Amino acid sequence: MKIIDTIKEHTIKYFLSALFGLLILLIGLIYQDVLLVIYPEVIQKLPKEVFLKITIVAIILFVLSSVLSLIFYLKLKNKLIPKFGVLWDKKGEAYCPSCEIILSEYHEQTSPLICSFTCVKCHTNIRLNNLGKSISLLDAQKLLNS
């Protein structure tokens, strides 16, 4: 059932992004049609000082909304890097690829070498692999930092 929750979460995120993009597209289409009719009337009847203030406020609001959108995007951007079968943060800590929580239960078998994590949330056994061969946690962290 964890995959269904993940699908719901991503569906909502992408649906809201698509809806916001569609809204911007519609505003652009309406703006293009309305601008040709209203703009000459507004320029002729408004004093130049008021028109200049409205234009400056519109430019400031556009720049502010662009910066806030960029900040929001960077905050939501996934900062985990997939490598060796798990997700890694910048500190070299391993995370579960399905539920993205930190992995704490590490197991290492010596003959044959099998290194794996067990996720405490979804109880999945996750093996560390590099090019089809098992790799230890220390070796994986060294390869990440190099």
Residues 6 or more apart whose CB falls under 8 angstroms from that of 101 comprise: 95, 119, 120, 121
pLDDT, tens only, 5-55: 777 777 877 887 888 888 888 888 787 777 777 777 777 787 888 878 888
Q: In one letter, which amino acid is 118? A: T
By percentage, how much of the chain surpasses pLDDT 70? Answer: 97
pLDDT, tens only, 97-116: 887 788 878 887 777 878 88
- Is the model more confident about 76 or about 88? 88
* pLDDT band at residue 60 under the 50/70/90 scheme: very high
Secondary structure (DSSP) of 21-33: HHHHHHHHHHHHH
- Tell me if the bond preceding 112 is cis, omega within 30° of 0: yes
